[in-house]
Amino acid sequence: MPLCTTLLDRLCVGLRSFGAVETSVEVIAGSQKGVWELLEKTIAISWLADSADEQAQQDIRDDVDRMLVGLSKLLARNVLHVEGAFSHVVHHGNISGGDTAGSGWRKLFAEAMLKYDK
């Protein structure tokens, strides 16, 4: 069952509320064609923290756990059949800023997609 925009918006707002760390919750939306249609209505969540800050890294891991539990609850309130309604992959990586940020994001995204079917 495709997720409607209103439900996606509710899920994004709900996911943001579960996090204790500042996060970006975005939906890949629009009219995708071909293979890119596979990514349509994907919710991508990202956090930024210094890779050397162990407490920040732990806070992010805790946020991921809270969001996964929370997503199940959100779906239970909004979707008739929760089982199989979503799948997820969690991927951690480092991205440098500046001119190399774009390639870093693309690499991180590609690595996450490769983990998706494992």
C-alpha distance from residue 3 to each of 9, 10, 72, 86, 92 (Å):
10, 11, 15, 10, 26
Angle at 89 between CA 6 and CA 102, to 5 degrees: 85
pTM equals 0.78
The answer, yes or no, to whether residue 3 has pLDDT greater than 60, is no
pLDDT for the residue numbered 4 = 65
Model pLDDT for residues 56-114, shown as the tens digit of each residue = 999 999 999 999 999 888 888 887 677 777 888 999 998 888 999 999 999 998 999 89
